[in-house]
Structure 1
Amino acid sequence: MTVLVHPTYFPSISTFVAISQAKQVIFETADNFVKQTYRNRCYIYGANGKMALNVPVVYSQKNRQKYKDVKIFNDENWQSRHWKSLLSAYRTSPFFEYYEDELQPLFVKKFDTILDFNLKCIETILDCLQLDIEIATTQIFEKTVTHADDFRSLVQAKKEIPQHFEHYTQVFEAKHGFIPNLSILDLLCNEGPNTLNYLESQNLPIL
């Protein structure tokens, strides 16, 4: 199976379910940037519940920009804030320390564009999962595709379709209950080496 997905900021579990069950992943890199999506946002489980981490970008709604051209607004110290949020959320999780050394450099090195940063985040997660998968990128944007299963709609953060994935134990679950389909980081920190088995055993995302 070949899947077409948007490369987003530490993608949602639903996106990684699709990735993990594919033989080839094609990343959509020829589209226009759209705000209020997972392109520059992910959700983690903090002490107060579901928490958004937003990467600031230099973007004007008036002038359409290609996703690949949108730059990160690095004048803000967002990387330090995001890392502190991850420490607060997951340092007591079973496997955070196991992956800390691989994740931490992403919050130190400066990246110019959001696309390059997202691709590096995904590459890091694939390494953590020891998942070797064929990857390609689009060169032109096609509204309708016939050569791959189109999971690009998973990029929507505001119009998300509820996904029915199996329960796993979360750090603050006793306070706020189980929160499904967070960033892959939540699953990785809580399930560790079992993450890939979990992803491969789930039903493909509902579109």
Structure 2
Amino acid sequence: MKILLPIFYLPPISWFSFFVDPENEIIFEQYENFPKQTYRNRTNIYGANGKLSLIIPMNHNGTRLLKDIEVSTREKWQKIHWKSIKTAYQTTPYFEFYEDQLAEIYTLKTKSLLEFNLHAIKVIQKILKIEKKFTLTEEYIREPESLNYRNHFSAKEKIGVDLEEYFQSFSDKYGFLPDLSILDLICNKGPESLTYIKNIKFK
């Protein structure tokens, strides 16, 4: 089954349920016009004060295509994001185990949002121990033949998915926060993360 997926920054857990499914042939959309306020340049983690959005600042160079979008080099966002992640997850059961691999995400020097996101996804693949191949679109097709999930995941609205609760570091204060970045699952569930993803049920 061909699945057209958006390319996100450290995607939410539900995104990975489509990505890791062996029945799915994954195609990443790179020719879409860049939509604002989406997971394409933001990810949600569980901070000490609840949900925390990490947003990659854009360099407004006039382009609209996702594949040409550049990230800002003026702000030290990579350093800030990594510090926020360490602060949020350093007390989780598996952060120390994966810390060096996760740090690799923020060593990449690139102006390309697309390149950075793909690099981050590949790092996560290594952690999850999955070798999932994918292709990139060669043009924008308004009504593709493949299943279109370009607009399926919203950074603002809940999607119809049942996620089993698991322990999160600050859940005693704010309760369980579902469908955060894949980082949240990895740091809290470790080697059980892939099994958790495969068991996700959509409504």
- Relative to the length of structure 1, the TM-score reads 0.92
What's the offset of the Cα at 1:14? 1.1
Structure 1 stretches of 4+ with a deviation exceeding 3 A read: none
The alpha-carbon deviation at position 149 of structure 1 amounts to 2.3
Local SS of the residue matching 1:44? strand
**Match for residue 4 of structure 2?**
4
Give yes or no for the alignment of 1:33 onto 2:34.
Answer: yes
Trace 1:47-196 onto structure 2 (pairs within 5 A).
Answer: 47-59=48-60, 63=62, 65-146=64-145, 148-196=146-194
Q: Separation in 2 of the partners of 1:52 and 1:201? A: 26
- The whole-number CA distance in structure 1 between the counterparts of 2:18 and 2:141 is 20
RMSD over equivalenced CA pairs, Å: 1.5
Partner of 1:43: 44
SS of alignment partner, residue 39 of structure 1: coil
**C-alpha distance in 2 between matches for 1:183 and 1:125:** 11
The DSSP-based 3-state class of the residue aligned with 2:144 is: coil
Q: Structure 1 115/160 Cα, relative in aligned 2: closer, same or farther at 3 Å?
A: farther
Residues of 2 paired with 1:129 and 1:91: CA distance? Answer: 19
Secondary structure of 1:75's aligned partner: coil
User: Per-residue deviation at 1:202?
Assistant: 0.9
* Structure 2: gaps spanning 5 or more residues: none
Distance in 2 of aligned mates of 1:90 and 1:137: 32
**% same residue:** 40
Per-residue displacement from partner, 1:94-144 (whole Å, max 9, x unpaired)?
A: 111111111112223321111110000111111110111121110111122
Give, in angstroms, the shift of residue 87 of structure 1.
0.6
Distance in 2 (CA, whole Å) between partners of 1:108 and 1:78 is 12
Please tell me whether the aligned partners of residues 15 and 154 of structure 1 are also in contact (alpha carbons under 8 angstroms): no
Q: Deviations over 1:49-88 (max 9, x none)?
A: 000000001136xx55100111110110111110110011
* Contact 1:8-1:155 within 8 A present in 2 as well: no
Provide closer, same or farther for how the CA distance between residues 167 and 86 of structure 1 changes in structure 2, counting only shifts above 3 A.
same
Q: Which residue of 1 aligns with 2:15?
A: 15
TM-score when scaled to structure 2? 0.94
Local SS of the residue matching 2:180: coil
In the alignment, the residues of structure 1 paired with residue 51 and residue 42 of structure 2 have an alpha-carbon distance, to the nearest angstrom, of: 13
Residue 20 of structure 1 aligns with an amino acid whose one-letter code is V
Asked if structure 1 preserves the Cα contact closer than 8 Å seen for 2:8 and 2:117, the reply is: yes
SS of alignment partner, residue 132 of structure 1:
coil
Equivalent pair of 2:11/2:43 in contact (CA under 8 Å): yes
